[in-house]
Amino acid sequence: MTMNPIRGFSPDSDPTTPGILTACSNVIPFAAGYKGAPSPVAVNAPALAAEARGAVVATRLDGSRRVFAGTQTRLYELLSAAWTDRSAGGVAYTGSSESRWSFAQFGDTTVATNLADPMQSSASGAFAAIAGAPKAKIVVSASNNFVIAFSTNEGTYGPSPDRWWCCAQSDQTNWTPSVATSAQTGRLIAIEGAIQAAQTLGDYVVAYKQRAIFLGVFAGAGGVVWQWNLVPGGEAGAVGQEAVCDIGGRHFIVGNDNFWIFDGTRPEPVGDGVTRQWFLDNSSPTYRYRTKVVYDKQNNLVRVNYPSLTSTGACDACLVYHVGKKEWGVSDVVIQAPLNYIAPGVTIDGLNAYAATIDALPNIPFDSQYWASGGQTPSYFNASNQLVAMNGATGASSFTTSDIGDDAAVTMIEQARVRFSRVPDSANATGFYAMNEGEPLVAGAVCPRNEGKFDLYQSARYHRVRFDFTGDHQETGYDLPLKQVGGR
């Protein structure tokens, strides 16, 4: 039987485009097709005492890792399944209602900053303020042994949202501008606005304003240390501090007017005609700057967590982009801070640290990366301040087909099929129909899956079907065979 290969969530496309999904919920792309999105499962750690304002897995030079999370007033490290306060001197930070923690790893030292408090560092144990460093919104660790800070506030220049600083070469404790040490500061003023985000890109450093991209190139020690070039590309830029992620030699960017991929030359839009307008129509213009993107390298997915149109500020919706397939899905969750959690690993003897009985263990397959030492798992802090891993079985999920039909003929659907590579625990289909494309759709009966098919009986010129699932599933295509029963 000929099937329409599933081409992904594409709400901006002509709804009669074969194979697209006009709507979906908890369905995401993977290399061989589409599947139900995993549900979150709590990591073996208690909830933070307050909202998570940033988190990182920091890898040291010897390969060992430290897991940090910050709230408005505290920095914590995950040790032996407990959050240990690593705030400087055990004293609360000030933060602000909007402050986020930005982290960078400089050798064995983790640097953290939130703009409101002095820049912090920790090579082991608690953090401590870096004397003389500017307060900064963003910090990155660049090649040639520099820490670079963006959107700063300090005594000499005051609040400078378009300013950058770099520390002395190979010395994150020295921020005094000097030709001898290569510590330096400057502004990015070719385009108006504050620096919203920054990321390294190979040997480069990229600074993003809302409508501009600046490429930082190391020019050599002494004199002009970092040369900043305005990248041609119209008004491409980042909508917020966490709206950029590295996808392996390229950046994925959520901008004010599109999704972009930037490889160091020119930004290329990836949302045109697919999800761009839908995202603008369904995300909050007030809180869109809080968008948080994270790259799931193992599954080659970018998760775009954003505040929905009805959100009061929380990131409560998520688009999912497959970098290889260039196709989209949806996996809505409420997220405070994303984290690619790297598991410490567990043995059979160590399972009692997770639960007292086998039946009480998290609902995660035993072949999951969650249980493997060094296994990387897409994770996030949920609305309860709890770190959860996206490793559980799929809950309720659905997708809706394109419109199929003909302006000149009345057709009947007698059955619909989905080509599964993994069959869900249960599945139902609901038919929708209209006599003319663009008219309101009428819902038909709900039909359970029966011997591999869904028995729908509906007549109209145009048809659309929603499939609802419970449990894990994978599929590659769908088919809605039509039988002509009338014409104009």
The answer to whether residue 291 sits within a structural domain is no
Strands 82-85 and 102-106: unpaired
The answer to whether residue 290 sits within a structural domain is no
Three-state SS annotation for 250-312: CEEEECCCCEEEECCCCEEECCCCCCHHHHHHHECCCCHHHCEEEEECCCCEEEEEECECCCC
**Residue 200 or 367, more confident:** 200
Question: What integer pLDDT is reported at residue 346 of this predicted model?
Answer: 40
User: pLDDT tens digits, residue range 193-224?
Assistant: 999 999 999 999 999 999 999 999 999 877 78
Strands 462-470 and 426-434: antiparallel
Nearest CA among 367, 467, 365, 379 for reference residue 415: 467
Question: What integer pLDDT is reported at residue 341 of this predicted model?
Answer: 78
The type of residue at 197 is A
Joined together, the tokens standing for residue 93 give 């930070």
Q: Is the pLDDT of residue 313 over 80?
A: yes
What CATH code is carried by the domain that includes residue 426?
2.60.120
Domain containing 483: what range?
Answer: 12-20+396-487
| Residue listed under structure tokens 């609305």 | 383
The answer to whether residue 346 sits within a structural domain is no
Question: What integer pLDDT is reported at residue 44 of this predicted model?
Answer: 86
Residue 141 DSSP SS3: strand
Residue 202 DSSP SS3: coil
Q: Is the pLDDT of residue 145 over 90?
A: yes
DSSP 90-101: GPPP---SS---
Q: What is the Cα–Cα distance from 439 to 307, expressed in whole angstroms?
A: 30
Model-level pTM?
A: 0.92
Q: What is the Cα–Cα distance from 195 to 215, expressed in whole angstroms?
A: 12
The answer to whether residue 279 sits within a structural domain is no
What average pLDDT does range 231-239 have in this prediction?
A: 91
Percent of the chain with pLDDT over 70: 92
- The values of phi and psi at residue 352, to 5°, are -65, -15
Q: Is the pLDDT of residue 371 over 50?
A: no
260: how many CB neighbours lie within 10 A of its CB? 24
Q: Is the pLDDT of residue 34 over 80?
A: yes
What average pLDDT does range 428-435 have in this prediction?
A: 96
What average pLDDT does range 74-99 have in this prediction?
A: 96
Q: How many structural domains comprise the chain? A: 1
DSSP 151-189: EEEETTTEEEEEEEEEPBTTBTT--S-BTTTTBEEEE--
Q: What is the Cα–Cα distance from 165 to 207, expressed in whole angstroms?
A: 12
Question: What integer pLDDT is reported at residue 363 of this predicted model?
Answer: 54
Joined together, the tokens standing for residue 252 give 């994925």
The answer to whether residue 304 sits within a structural domain is no
∠ CA 67-314-306, rounded to 5°:
85
What average pLDDT does range 115-139 have in this prediction?
A: 98
The answer to whether residue 59 sits within a structural domain is no
Q: At CB < 8 A and 24+ separation, what contacts does 363-371 make?
A: 363/41, 363/392, 363/393, 364/41, 364/389, 364/391, 364/392, 365/391, 369/298, 369/343, 370/41, 370/343, 371/343, 371/345, 371/346
| Residue listed under structure tokens 């390294």 | 200
Q: What is the Cα–Cα distance from 62 to 124, expressed in whole angstroms?
A: 14
Residue 347 confidence class, pLDDT cut points 50, 70, 90: very low
| Residue listed under structure tokens 């002494």 | 222
The answer to whether residue 215 sits within a structural domain is no
Separation in Å, CA 372 to CA 7, 135, 224, 343, 345: 33, 38, 46, 6, 5
What average pLDDT does range 149-165 have in this prediction?
A: 97
The answer to whether residue 134 sits within a structural domain is no
Average pLDDT of the chain to the nearest whole number: 92
Do 380 and 318 meet the contact criterion of CB atoms below 8 Å apart?
A: no
What average pLDDT does range 263-286 have in this prediction?
A: 97
What average pLDDT does range 75-99 have in this prediction?
A: 96
Which residues is 411 bridged to in the sheet? 460, 484
| Residue listed under structure tokens 């890792």 | 65
Q: What is the Cα–Cα distance from 394 to 426, expressed in whole angstroms?
A: 12
Q: What is the Cα–Cα distance from 403 to 116, expressed in whole angstroms?
A: 52
Q: Is the pLDDT of residue 152 over 80?
A: yes
Strands 39-42 and 337-342: unpaired
Q: In 294-417, where does DSSP find H-type helix?
A: none
Q: Is the pLDDT of residue 370 over 60?
A: no
What average pLDDT does range 230-236 have in this prediction?
A: 88
Residue 252 confidence class, pLDDT cut points 50, 70, 90: very high
The type of residue at 67 is V
Percent of the chain with pLDDT over 90: 87
